[in-house]
C-alpha cells in the first residue's frame, strides 16, 4: 500500500467522480490524465467556456475550482455548469462540496447547478443531510486513493462517453 505524506486533497472533481466511477477517482488522484482529445471532454469545455460569459469563470478556492462566481443581492453565488442533468445527484454533491468548503472557511454562499443545453437551473444550499453525505464520500475517496491499485473496472451508463475508457476496456 502506498504511503502518502499527507491526506489526499479532495476537490469537487473527486467528489463528482466518486459518485460516477470509483476507478476514475483513483486514476485522477494518481495523476493519470484523461484523453485530452476526447470529443465529449472538448464539448464539455466548450459549453463551460461559452456559457454565462458575463460572469467570472474558473475561480480557484483551496483544492476546488468553481465554474462560476457571482454576487446577487449581496450573496455570493457559486455556479457549476454541466452538459446535462443526467448525473444530477453527482453534480448536486459536487456543488455542495464547494459550499461546504466555503462554509468551513466562514464564507456563506448559495449554489446554482446550470444546464445551459437544457435551459435549466437548480438552486443548491448546504444542509445537514448533504454535509453528512459529503463526510461519507470523503472517507470513501480517501480509502480509494490509498489503495495500491485502482478499483476493478465496472461497466456503467457513463462508460460509453468516458475519456478514460481506453484504460478500462482495451
93-114 per-position pLDDT tens digit:
999 999 999 998 899 999 999 9
- Cell numbers 485502482 correspond to 150
Q: In the chain, pLDDT over 90 holds for what percent of residues?
A: 45
| Grid cell listed for 113 | 447547478
What is the rounded distance in angstroms from the CA atom of residue 60 to the CA atom of residue 53? 18
Q: 7 vs 19, which has greater pLDDT?
A: 19
Residue 8: pLDDT band (50, 70, 90) is low
pLDDT, mean of residues 74-79: 92
**Strands 56-61 and 75-81, how do they pair?**
unpaired
* The dihedral formed by the CA atoms of 14, 16, 21 and 25, expressed in degrees to the nearest 10: 0
pLDDT, position 2: 47
The per-residue DSSP string of 92-133 comes to HHHHHHHHHHHHHTT--EEEEEEEGGGTEEEEE---HHHHHH
pLDDT, mean of residues 30-38: 73
Question: For the chain, where are the alpha helices, taking DSSP H only?
Answer: 12-20, 22-29, 39-50, 88-104, 128-145, 165-169
Q: 40 vs 72, which has greater pLDDT?
A: 72
**Strands 56-61 and 120-124, how do they pair?**
unpaired
Q: 151 vs 45, which has greater pLDDT?
A: 151
pLDDT, position 160: 81
Residue 120: pLDDT band (50, 70, 90) is very high
The Cβ of residue 44 has, within 10 Å, a number of other Cβ atoms equal to 17
Most confidently modeled range among 35-49, 105-119, 146-160: 105-119
What is the rounded distance in angstroms from the CA atom of residue 81 to the CA atom of residue 16? 13
Amino acid at each position: 500500500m502506498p504511503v502518502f505524506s499527507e491526506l489526499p486533497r479532495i476537490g469537487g472533481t473527486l467528489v463528482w467522480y466518486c459518485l460516477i466511477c470509483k476507478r476514475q477517482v483513483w486514476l485522477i488522484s494518481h495523476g493519470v490524465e484523461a484523453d485530452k482529445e476526447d470529443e465529449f471532454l472538448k464539448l464539455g469545455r466548450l459549453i463551460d467556456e461559452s456559457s454565462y460569459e458575463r460572469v467570472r469563470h474558473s475561480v480557484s478556492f483551496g483544492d476546488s475550482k468553481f465554474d462560476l462566481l457571482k454576487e446577487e443581492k449581496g450573496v455570493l453565488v457559486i455556479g457549476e455548469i454541466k452538459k446535462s442533468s443526467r448525473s444530477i445527484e453527482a453534480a448536486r454533491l459536487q456543488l455542495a462540496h464547494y459550499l461546504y468548503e466555503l462554509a468551513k472557511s466562514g464564507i456563506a454562499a448559495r449554489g446554482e447547478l446550470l444546464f445551459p443545453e437544457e435551459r435549466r437551473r437548480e438552486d443548491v444550499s448546504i444542509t445537514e443531510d448533504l454535509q453528512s453525505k459529503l463526510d461519507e464520500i470523503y472517507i470513501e475517496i480517501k480509502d480509494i486513493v490509498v489503495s495500491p491499485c485502482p478499483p476493478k473496472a465496472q461497466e456503467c451508463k457513463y462508460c460509453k462517453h468516458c475519456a478514460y475508457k481506453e484504460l478500462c476496456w482495451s
